[in-house]
Amino acid sequence: MIRVLLPAHLKTLAGVRGEVDVEVVGPVTANAIVDALETTYPALRGTIRDPATGRRRPFVRFFVDEVDRSHDEPDEPLPSGVASRKVPFIVVGAMAGG
Amino acid sequence: MSGVRLLVGTRKGAFILTADAKRQHWEVAGPHFGGWEMYHLKGSPVDPNRIYASQSTSWFGQLIQRSNDGGVTWTPVGNEFAYDGIPGTHQWYDGTPHPWEFARVWHLEPSLSDPDTVLAGVEDAALFRSTDAGQSWQELSGLREHGSGPSWQPGAGGMCLHTIIVSPSDPKRIVVAISAAGAFRSDDEGVTWKPINKGLHSEGIPDGDAEVGHCVHHVTMHPSRPDVLFMQKHWDVMRSNDAGENWFEISGNLPSDFGFAMDVHAHEPETLYVVPIKSDSEHFPPDGRLRVYRSRSGGNEWEPLTKGLPQENCYVNVLRDAMAVDTMDECGVYFGTTGGQVYASANAGDSWAPIVRDLPAVLSVEVQNLA
């Protein structure tokens, strides 16, 4: 299981509090984690990635172990600490006003 | 107990305001979806407890919420609005071709006969339909592909399809309006479309009388006379007596014919309401006085309605979907402002009182009569 921390609005949508755990089969990548999130919590479909392009939404960021992984290839394996549950995969609503 | 329910969409959540038939004492519920832009909420005419809501942010995109219990609880339904085929391009602000990109749902129009069928007007401008209570959406692409689509340009608020009118006498007839393309009509349930902008004149486009390119802000009608349409254009208040085939101006003695919101009295098809706004660069009422103008003659002759409305230092706007009328014996009129006030009149506009004063900026107001 992978530890995931969602921003407040997405927690509300998913109906969860705190961290969530999702099951990822195969390489632990950003896309695989978001796929698992959307399967486990259908209300999140389209909120992290644009359904038309499949790309991360511009005002969404992915942080891992204090490093911004938003611009990494989304199918690239994430640092091993995510798979080993040492650190969570953090989904962040970017600071962009509002 | 009969009463009314207002569905109020704001920049930071939705609010539901309820009152009995006297419409003097109101209960305020919300915010629902706090922090999200709620462009529009609208209930099914067949089943008032079935309400659809458009929820979006720049961060997390578009969601559609559905309630089956009058807005007490909500369920997210389908949010995939995929343009049919290869969407092509429209004009960008600088005149260059720009790919069609979905941004948000501006307006939801539930069917007059089926609570599971609902139309959605979106940005970039297109019309979608769901027949499964919002779970899935299919584009009525004949509108975007009818021929003039590549020449459409966004207005200042984006290239949005913001108005959807389904004729009560002929459900195959649909009128939509797009900023800044104009009004369009289908007579075959959305399969084929034609522009209906003859008689409109706009100074902000190269050919002022062009077939498309007009910044139509809102269109409305009275259900008993669906062929009579009233339009608040960017500038000019217009009327058509032939389902949009021809338009003529009815601005008359309005202090400004710029504006957004417009509606028709529930029982008097020739009684109209508009809220004049000073100009397209000054989105506030003339002279800092918030005045609804009423015409009892189908236009041209307008009277200011001021009782209970601020008559000094008022610099709010009233947006296109932020006015509604109820169908009580004495027609109620409602509107919301960008300053967060929602005003109600239980006597057809003769006098007004705020229901709430301090909501986030109001984007839309719809009203439901409750049995």
Q: Which domains does chain A have, with CATH numbers?
A: 2-93 (3.10.20.30)
Q: For residue B127, give the 3-state DSSP assignment.
A: strand
Measured between alpha carbons, how far is B274 from B272 in angstroms, rounded to an integer? 7
pTM attached to this predicted model? 0.96
| Mean per-residue pLDDT, A58-64 | 96
CB contact under 8 A, A96 and B58: yes
Q: Where are the alpha helices (DSSP H) in chain A?
A: 8-14, 30-40, 80-83
CA–CA dist B52, B198 (Å, integer)? 33
Hey, what amino acid is at B80?
A: E
- Going by pLDDT thresholds of 50, 70 and 90, the confidence category of residue B205 is confident
Copy the structure tokens of residue B339.
Answer: 């300053």
- Tell me if chain A has a CB within 8 Å of the CB of B59: yes
Minimum mean pLDDT range among A78-92, B68-82, B87-101, B279-293? B87-101
What ipTM does the predicted assembly reach? Answer: 0.93
Cα dihedral sign, B251-B255-B256-B259: negative
What is the C-alpha separation between B309 and B300, in angstroms, rounded?
Answer: 23
Look up residue A73 and give its two tokens: 């290839």
Q: Does residue B74 contact residue B53 with C-beta atoms inside 8 Å?
A: yes
| Cβ contact, residue pair A47, B63, below 8 Å | yes
pLDDT, tens only, B105-164: 999 999 999 999 999 999 999 999 999 999 999 999 999 998 899 999 998 888 999 999
Mean of the per-residue pLDDT values of chain A: 95
Is the pLDDT reported for residue A91 higher than 70?
A: yes
SS3 assignment, position B195: strand
pLDDT at B1 (0 to 100): 60
Pairs across A and B, CB distance < 8 A: 46
Taking the Cβ of residue B102 and every Cβ of chain A, the question of whether any pair is shorter than 8 Å is answered with yes
Residues 6+ apart with CB under 8 A from A31: A74, A75
Q: Do A46 and B76 touch (CB under 8 A)?
A: no
Q: What is the pLDDT of residues B33-44, one digit of tens each?
A: 999 999 999 999
Percent share of chain A, pLDDT over 90? 93
Mean pLDDT over A15-35 rounds to 97
Q: Is B35 on the interface with A (CB under 8 A)?
A: yes
Mean pLDDT of B250-276: 98
- Give me the pLDDT at residue A97, please: 57
- CATH 2.130.10.10 is held by the domain B3-370: yes
User: Which residues, in sequence order, are CB contacts of A95 under 8 Å at separation 6+?
Assistant: none
In angstroms, the Cα distances linking B359 to A15, B41, B42 are 25, 16, 19
Delimit the domains of chain B by residue range. Answer: 3-370
**Comparing C-alpha atoms, which of B28, B132, B38 is closest to residue B321?**
B38
Q: Which residues of A touch B80 (CB under 8 A)?
A: 45-46, 51
B63 CB contacts (<8 Å, ≥6 apart)? Answer: A13, A43, A46, A47, B36, B55, B56, B76, B79
What's the mean pLDDT in B317-343? 98
Nearest residue of chain A to residue B86 (CA atoms): A52
User: Quick one: CA torsion of B247, B249, B250, B256, rounded to 10 degrees?
Assistant: 130
Give the model confidence (pLDDT) of B43-69 as tens digits. 999 999 999 999 999 999 999 999 999
Given an 8 Å threshold on Cβ–Cβ distance, is A59 in contact with B58? yes
Give me the phi and psi of B268, to 5 degrees please: -125, 95
Alpha-carbon distance of A71 to A7, in angstroms, equals 19
Q: What percent of chain A has pLDDT over 70?
A: 98
Residue range B179-199: mean pLDDT, rounded:
97
What residues contact B4, with CB distance under 8 A and at least 6 apart? B18, B19, B21, B23, B326, B328, B332, B367, B368, B369, B370
Kindly report the nearest CA distance between residue A79 and chain B, in angstroms. Answer: 25
Best of A38, A59, A70, A95 to mutate (most B CBs within 10 Å, chain B): A59
Question: Has residue B285 got a pLDDT over 90?
Answer: yes
Mean pLDDT of chain B: 96
pLDDT confidence of residue B201: 95
